[in-house]
A and B are shown apart, each in its own frame.
Chain A
Amino acid sequence: MKFLSNGNLRGWLESLMGMGSLIAPVDLEPGLTLFSQVRDPGEVNLEYEITPIPPKDLFFPSSEALFRFSPSRGYEIPRIEGETFLLGVHPCDALGIRLMDFPFLSPPADPRYEERRRRTTIIGLGCVKARPECFCTSFGIGPLDPSNADAFLVPVPGGFLVEAKTGKGARALASAKLKEASIPIPKPPEVSAIDVEAVRKVALSLFDSPYWGRLADRCLSCKVCAYVCPSCYCFDIRDYPTRDGAERVRSWDSCQSPLFTRQASGYDPRQTKASRLRNRFYHKFSYFPDEFGAFGCTGCGRCVRYCPVNIDIRETLSAILRGEARIA
């Protein structure tokens, strides 16, 4: 474990900016922090609580052209170039990137995701404070857990404890002026865990419960839960004409959309809001674990925080554990 003083932070960030582009939490306006390209190291806010959008769009942009086509030039694939240092990723969001790897790096791997992932070094950041909606400890991580990052920083008085976890991380830290650490790793903030394994065991027996309909009654189908989710990865593909051809664009989509499963014929296997809300829950706590061996949730609490009608996924998990979602 090494120590990076606050005084040496700027020099390190400048050297990272010399090696590639630096993406880090930046205050765009008071109260709004987003992962953004850093122009000056002074912009970086490493005391942020949460970004409304997780850094998944760095690898899986909210909308991007997969290719362009014109009769004269054939296919043109937008290039992905350069190296990126993604700094200040909390453990929940680092887990989110790991979860995103499952669908996008399973064969056939998505070439755009794979390319961006390979060109990016993830520098994690421990949480010294927990938010009321945090439940990351339910998923085998915690506020100071360095797994899923290439290098990890833990804020301590006067600077950061730093540690390289991979070769990429060591390379990113090579230019930092570090000292041997004399400060112990601080005690992580309390984050309460939910027994999601127990939820998974009983969830399927509650599939036909009227609970889902009651919960869905107030859902607005606004899909904000999916857009702010670090592990939601569904997408849509659309064509748009260009001056001399067409481009095919991939955009984020959500199973909460009434159009998500509707076929051109009009047939829709998931017609009700209740069945769509239920699908999102079961995908995260049953289908994704069945497919990939990990829960499709990081406990970041964004869906809890940003849902306009206060649908709280933790309440659903608790209702299942307490037997309140039982079939009446």
Chain B
Amino acid sequence: MRLENPYLAEECVIKGSRRQTPDVYTYAISYPRGSRRLRTPFMPGQFIMISVLGIGEAPFSFSAWDDEKAIFETTIRTVGNVTSAIMRRGEGQRIWVRGPYGRGWPMEEARGKDILIVAGGIGMAPLRPVIEMVARNRRSYGGLEILYGAKTPEDLLFADEFDSWRSIPGAELLLTVDSVPRGTKWDHGVGVVTTLFDKIRTEPNDSIVMMCGPEIMMKFAVKGLLAMGFRPEDIYLSLERRMECGVAQCGHCQIGPKFVCKDGPVFPYSELRGLPDLLA
């Protein structure tokens, strides 16, 4: 019996891209249906390995997914070789995708509960499918409160969707930025995302927190939420680590005995407490 080669990726096509911030683009990518190298559907919070052959491969979350049109979206900050190569590829060009991998957001556990989203910067990308899922299945979930912080107003992703998020029944969107450039109109908060915490209306009982952002932000946000009475097992964090394989072999994403690619990238805080080289 020959084993399936886990490294072969499916050829996909870039259908378009939208500029989100000066260095972040959202790409729409069409995929062949029924592919074994790219298995659908994805669950919000899972990740995929995207490559430009000849340049390299890296892990990315997806920020939307539409199985009817066989298109998913991924929101990528241009910071390295692979992300720069993806950005240089225009509409109609090929990229290669395998996955999805890992454990996503606890959409089942969250049924019937209030959801509190805490996002920082590019960390909003893997949380956008959560907001869409709640909007599409509105009666399955309770309240939806979204706290979103970024460096400056122009670093906020999906700003053109904020109004539609606010119009989801029972939804609340609170924004904050670290600083506001002179001349920019801004009537929301200024300060790190935890400065929004005294406005949180979500009750710690019967709620699920979903959080993604820089680790330093998540460290202080977890601290604040625990102090407010949220339980460690109800606070879910999506972690980012360097990855080469996606299948718990290469060792790069290991945190103590956990692999971010296989056991995560989404973890309840109760599983992360005490792990080394984390939230430092």
Residue of B nearest to A251 (CB): B244
* Distance between A274 CB and nearest chain B CB, rounded to angstroms: 11
A264 to B56, alpha carbons, bound, how many Å?
A: 12
- Would A265 and B79 be within 8 Å (CB), given that A236-B244, A238-B56 are in contact? yes
* Distance between A308 CB and nearest chain B CB, rounded to angstroms: 23
Answer yes or no: A51 CB below 8 A from chain B CBs: no
Interface bits A235-246 vs B (CB < 8 Å: 1, else 0): 111111100011
Inter-chain contact B254/A283, CB cutoff 8 Å: yes
Q: How large is the interface on A (under 10, 10 to 19, 20 to 34, 35 or more residues)?
A: 35 or more
Inter-chain contact A262/B242, CB cutoff 8 Å: yes
A286 to B4, alpha carbons, bound, how many Å?
A: 31
Inter-chain contact B244/A282, CB cutoff 8 Å: no
Q: In the complex, what residues of B have CB within 8 A of residue A278's CB?
A: 276
Answer yes or no: A327 CB below 8 A from chain B CBs: no
Answer yes or no: B257 CB below 8 A from chain A CBs: yes
Interface bits B229-247 vs A (CB < 8 Å: 1, else 0): 0000000000011101101
Q: Report whether over half of chain B's contact residues are helix, strand or loop; otherwise say mixed.
A: loop
Inter-chain contact A290/B257, CB cutoff 8 Å: yes
Residue of A nearest to B278 (CB): A269
Which of B5-13, B126-134, B195-203 forms contacts with chain A?
B5-13
Q: In the complex, what residues of A have CB within 8 A of residue B254's CB?
A: 283, 287
Inter-chain contact B276/A279, CB cutoff 8 Å: yes
Which of A101-109, A122-130, A157-165, A177-185 forms contacts with chain B?
A101-109
Answer yes or no: A77 CB below 8 A from chain B CBs: yes
- Would A108 and B241 be within 8 Å (CB), given that A234-B252, A239-B53 are in contact? no
Residue of B nearest to A208 (CB): B276
Inter-chain contact A67/B251, CB cutoff 8 Å: no
Residue of B nearest to A77 (CB): B5
Inter-chain contact B252/A67, CB cutoff 8 Å: no
Q: How many A-B residue pairs have CB under 8 A?
A: 115
Inter-chain contact B4/A260, CB cutoff 8 Å: no
Inter-chain contact B57/A103, CB cutoff 8 Å: no
User: Which residues of B in the span 219-276 have a Cβ within 8 Å of any Cβ on A?
Assistant: 240-242, 244-245, 247-252, 254-257, 276
Q: How large is the interface on B (under 10, 10 to 19, 20 to 34, 35 or more residues)?
A: 35 or more
Inter-chain contact A269/B280, CB cutoff 8 Å: yes
Answer yes or no: A224 CB below 8 A from chain B CBs: no
Inter-chain contact B242/A248, CB cutoff 8 Å: no
Inter-chain contact B241/A269, CB cutoff 8 Å: yes
A4 to B254, alpha carbons, bound, how many Å?
A: 47
Residue of B nearest to A109 (CB): B3
User: Which residues of A in the span 256-298 have a Cβ within 8 Å of any Cβ on B?
Assistant: 260-267, 269-270, 275, 278-279, 282-283, 286-287, 290-291
Partner of A291, one of B6, B250, B257: B257
A266 to B240, alpha carbons, bound, how many Å?
A: 12
User: Which residues of A in the span 177-234 have a Cβ within 8 Å of any Cβ on B?
Assistant: 207, 233-234
Q: In the complex, what residues of A have CB within 8 A of residue B79's CB?
A: 264-266
Inter-chain contact B252/A111, CB cutoff 8 Å: no
Inter-chain contact B251/A233, CB cutoff 8 Å: yes
A248 to B3, alpha carbons, bound, how many Å?
A: 19
A111 to B4, alpha carbons, bound, how many Å?
A: 7
**Please, could you name 7 A-B residue pairs with CB atoms under 8 Å apart, sorted by A?**
A106-B248, A111-B4, A207-B276, A235-B250, A237-B245, A264-B82, A291-B257
The list of the 4 closest CB pairs from A to B, nearest first, reads A264-B80, A234-B251, A246-B54, A111-B3
Known contacts A237-B56, A267-B214; 17 further A-B pairs (Cβ under 8 A): A108-B6, A114-B3, A115-B3, A233-B251, A235-B244, A237-B250, A238-B56, A241-B54, A246-B53, A253-B250, A260-B242, A261-B241, A264-B58, A264-B81, A265-B80, A279-B276, A287-B257
